[in-house]
Structures are given as C-alpha cells and as structure tokens.
Amino acid sequence: MTELQEAVLAKTLPHVAFDGWTWAALEAGAVDAGLPAIDAKRAFPGGPAEAAVFHSALADRRMAADLAALDPPPARTRDKVATLIRLRLEGAAADREAVRLGLGLLARPQNAALGLKALARTADAIWRAAGDRSADFNWYTKRGLVAAVYMATVTYWLNDRSAGFADTWAFLDRRLDDAMRLPMQAKKLAERAGTFVPRP
C-alpha cells in the first residue's frame, strides 16, 4: 500500500498548488502516475486529509535520513534539532504551497485530531533522530517544546522571501535558544521553591 501511496502522492503534489488537497488533485495524480483515477481512493481511503498526513510522514522519514547522511553530523543535541528542522523545511521547499494548504486542511475542526497526531509524530521524529532516548516526563516536555518551535518556524518559513530562507534559519535559532532556556528556568524555580517548603 505504501508504494501505491507514494506513487500517487508524488504526482498529486503539482496539482495541489492549483486544486488544493482535494479528490480532484488525488485523482489527477493517480492518472499522471499511469493508474486509473479510482486508485486515488485505494491509496487514500481517508481522503485528502489522509494524503496530507502521509505527505508529512514522508517528510519525517526523509528528514531523519538526510541527517544520517551528514558527515560529520552536528555534535550537540541542540544543533541536531536545529539541523533536523532545517533539513525538513529545505526538503519541502519545492512543495511549499502544498505544505501551506495541508496545514490549513488539517487545522479544520474535522481534521484537527489528525493534524495534532501528525505534529506529535514530527516532534517525536526530530527527537529520536537527534538521539533522545528519554522515557520519563522529559519525553513529553521535550516534544512539546520542539512542536512549538517547529510550528512557529514553519509559519515564518511559509512567508519568508529572504535569500536561501536566511531569515527563517535566524528565527529558528532564536526560538530554539528561547526553548532551551525554559527547562533550565523551570528547574531553578523548582529548586528555589523547595528551599521554602518545610520538610516533614
């Protein structure tokens, strides 16, 4: 099934810029892939929203593979996270309008749960590729922070007209620096508060 989905999606993306994430775009993609139009429904029985989520999942896989291909890879975890987000957006640059329209589709109330799952999967893929193996509460806080940074950066990137998206990468660095400070500030506050809590 994945091969069929990939074949249909690859040919659908050029149509998305004009027709949006619609059945018309999916059916045109299937025909362009040399398949009958009905195969669009075989590939994505859940419709255009399922196709948009699959597009995101493929980008997650490509992002991790692109990082693994770097020689040498970034050493620090913070730099790995930054590089992963950058690789993901650079890989989607040719389909930026499809990303924009996909976010709009998945933001609709009927698709919100799918959109949140896709975002959570992307945040998890970023941390896993960066080497995170946490299994405690940090698992949730790390992914929540990266999800917020990622979405803010995507929103900025969608409207960035700077050469080579230089403004986006500067924005990403600032957001990551802010996000990395939050856990340290929270830890300091917790330690400070503990000094005022009477011991039993």
Is 148 exposed, middle or buried, given 0-12, 13-18 or 19+ CB atoms closer than 10 A?
Answer: middle
Per-residue pLDDT at 198: 41
Per-residue pLDDT at 85: 98
The values of phi and psi at residue 72, to 5°, are -90, 160
* Cα three-residue angle 146-108-97, rounded to 5 degrees: 70
Per-residue pLDDT at 138: 83
Per-residue pLDDT at 60: 97
Q: What is the model's pTM? A: 0.87
Per-residue pLDDT at 183: 53
Per-residue pLDDT at 121: 97
Per-residue pLDDT at 195: 42
Per-residue pLDDT tens over the stretch 59-107: 999 999 999 999 999 999 999 999 999 999 999 999 999 999 999 999 9
Q: Which residues does the chain have with pLDDT short of 70?
A: 1, 182-200
Per-residue pLDDT at 137: 79
What is the distance of C-alpha 128 from the center of its chain? 13
Mark 12-28 as b/e (b = at least 16 C-beta within 10 Å).
bbbbbeebbbbeebbbb
Task: Please check whether residue 169 is in contact with residue 85, taking contact to mean a CB–CB distance below 8 angstroms.
Answer: no
Per-residue pLDDT at 190: 39
